[in-house]
């Protein structure tokens, strides 16, 4: 309570006010201490600001020194025909690493293509869309490949304090780059992301797996594929886990046919036709073997060793009980010995001998499922022959790739993707992990431009081959 003179009527109110003042002073003290910068930090920030100002002045000077545009027609970048000037001295303001700049340029319109263009923008290499230079666009793309747009905004504004961007700018860059990645020819894109080696490999592996990502309103599967050479799989010995030094990744939201096309493109660019053998490793899902048959009909198909053991143990738990650890350990050892030796028939025979009068329907169903699984994949379980040829028998690389290619960016708490957003991000993440942050942006743009150019060439050829229209006769 407060008395008429403005003071506190009781000690409790006074104590509360003093506590609030103490907390306020403590907060100010902490903030001042945290924000305090040492002499070196202040010097660094001042030098960075000087560099920024000098860069702004130097860039403005260079842009001002560009020769003035004349009013003559210019060649259309699409069809090559001369296009007249429709408007002069139109301003464009854009952000570069040096700051914000403004230029003036002429607008040309091509009557054949029914589209306009700015020759000065083409000359400078300014993107047709967006308000930033290519170098800024590249860095925006790198940030959004690794973080959600809001997080990327906060991190960007910390690193580039003179060049503030919003989460919507990251979103727009993702849409533009994702659309180009989708439209680019898969083989052109793979060749640009990782130029093919002139020498054929002895053995090429490819694997695939599916992973669920949160969508609106439900979950959906993103299919991921990996293609790599045997010599790219590095490990010290048989007991250590290997590392893939270089691989090609492809990803597709649903659409099995589109995914097969991407895997085939990666195999073609990696010169799978020139390899002595191509090996496909996957779990026992039927769609995986259909993929392998379509993408590379002559590939050696291998059932992942760990999935085979997992299925055997699933049956063992149904028969022996999950709590019977000693019996399950013996079951696992015996199954691994038979599988490692390629003794599939003895394994089936051993399983069939378990059936007896006391076998329940659930146990019988588990046995039938395992026998069917082994029978269907018998040719893919010759692990003794595969080991003799020094081939991999585990799908660890693709399961690891699911995490570092897809899940690390697309499966975060609170994320819900649209169909287009998930489709494009999956495609871009695969490109990013294939080429690395230094090259993936340029690779996507080159593949897109080359795809459009080749398409235009083919369309022009088709138009030239069409027979001329017959004129109506008056006779």
Helix (H, G, I), strand (E, B) or coil at 457: helix
- Kindly report the average pLDDT of the chain as a whole number: 89
Q: Which residue in the block uniquely carries the two structure tokens 């694997």?
A: 207
For every residue of 262-293, DSSP letters joined together read HHHHHHHHTTGGGSSEEEEEE-S-HHHHHHHH
pLDDT score at 445: 96
pLDDT score at 1: 47
pLDDT score at 165: 94
- CA dihedral for 434, 435, 438, 444, sign (positive or negative): negative
* % the chain with pLDDT above 70: 93
- 466 pLDDT exceeds 80? no
pLDDT score at 3: 54
- 464 pLDDT exceeds 70? no
pLDDT score at 217: 86
- 68: exposed, middle or buried (C-beta count within 10 Å: 0-12, 13-18, 19+)? exposed
Compute the CA torsion angle 306, 307, 308, 312 (nearest 10 deg): 100
Shortest CA distance to 225 belongs to which of 408, 405, 435? 405
pLDDT score at 54: 96
Residue 129: is the preceding peptide bond cis (ω within 30°)? no
Long-range contacts of 256-262 (CB under 8 A, 24+ apart): 256/223, 256/287, 256/290, 256/291, 259/208, 259/223, 259/225, 259/291, 260/291, 260/294, 260/295, 261/186, 262/186, 262/225
Task: Name the least confident of 185-189, 214-218, 321-325, 385-389.
Answer: 321-325
Task: Name the least confident of 23-27, 198-202, 336-340.
Answer: 23-27
- CA dihedral for 372, 205, 439, 181, sign (positive or negative): negative
Most confident segment among 27-41, 246-260, 443-457: 246-260
- 475 pLDDT exceeds 50? no
Helices 134-146 and 149-159 meet at what angle, rounded to 10? 130
pLDDT score at 18: 85
- 324 pLDDT exceeds 80? yes
Q: Which residue in the block uniquely carries the two structure tokens 């395992």?
A: 370
Buried/exposed code over 311-326 (b: 16+ C-beta within 10 A; e: otherwise): bbbebbebbbeeeeee
pLDDT range class, residue 462, cuts 50, 70, 90: low
- 6 pLDDT exceeds 60? no
């Amino acid at each position: 309570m407060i008395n008429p003179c403005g003071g506190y009527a009781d000690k409790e109110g006074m104590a509360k006010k003093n506590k609030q003042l103490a907390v306020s002073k403590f907060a100010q003290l902490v903030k001042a201490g945290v924000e305090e910068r040492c002499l070196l930090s202040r010097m660094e920030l001042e030098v960075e600001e000087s560099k920024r100002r000098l860069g702004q002045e130097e860039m403005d000077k260079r842009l001002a020194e560009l020769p003035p545009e004349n009013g003559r027609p210019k060649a259309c970048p699409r069809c090559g025909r001369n296009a007249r000037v429709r408007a002069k001295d139109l301003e464009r303001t854009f952000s570069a690493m040096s700051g914000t700049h403004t230029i003036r340029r002429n607008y040309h319109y091509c009557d054949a293509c029914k589209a306009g263009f700015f020759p000065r923008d083409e000359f400078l290499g300014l993107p047709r869309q967006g308000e930033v230079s290519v170098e800024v666009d590249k860095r925006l793309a790198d940030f959004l490949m690794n973080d959600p747009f809001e997080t990327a905004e906060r991190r960007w504004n910390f690193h580039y304090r003179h060049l503030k961007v919003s989460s919507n700018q990251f979103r727009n860059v993702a849409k533009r780059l994702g659309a180009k990645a989708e439209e680019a020819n898969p083989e052109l894109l793979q060749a640009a992301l990782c130029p093919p080696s002139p020498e054929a490999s002895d053995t090429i592996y490819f694997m695939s797996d599916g992973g669920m990502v949160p969508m609106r309103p439900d979950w959906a599967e993103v299919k991921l594929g990996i293609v790599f050479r045997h010599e790219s799989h590095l490990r010290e010995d048989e007991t250590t886990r290997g590392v893939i030094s270089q691989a090609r990744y492809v990803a597709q939201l649903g659409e099995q046919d589109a995914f097969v096309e991407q895997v085939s493109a990666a195999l073609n660019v990696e010169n799978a036709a020139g390899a002595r053998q191509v090996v496909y490793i996957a779990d026992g899902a039927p769609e995986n073997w259909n993929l392998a048959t379509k993408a590379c009909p002559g590939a050696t198909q291998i059932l992942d060793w760990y999935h085979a053991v997992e299925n055997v143990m699933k049956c063992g738990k149904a028969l022996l009980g999950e709590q019977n650890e000693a019996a399950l350990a013996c079951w696992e050892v015996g199954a691994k010995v038979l599988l490692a030796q390629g003794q599939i028939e003895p394994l089936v025979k051993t399983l069939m001998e378990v059936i007896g009068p006391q076998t329940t329907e659930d146990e019988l169903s588990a046995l039938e499922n395992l026998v069917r699984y082994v029978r269907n994949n018998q040719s893919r379980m010759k692990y003794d022959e595969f080991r003799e040829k020094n081939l991999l028998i585990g799908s660890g690389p693709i399961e690891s790739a699911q995490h570092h290619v897809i899940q690390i960016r697309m499966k975060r708490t609170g994320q819900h993707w649209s169909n287009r957003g998930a489709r494009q991000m999956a495609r871009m993440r695969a490109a990013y992990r294939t080429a690395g942050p230094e090259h993936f942006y340029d690779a996507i743009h080159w593949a897109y431009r080359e795809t459009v150019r080749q398409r235009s060439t083919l369309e022009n050829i088709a138009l030239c081959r069409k027979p001329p229209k017959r004129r109506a006769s008056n006779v």
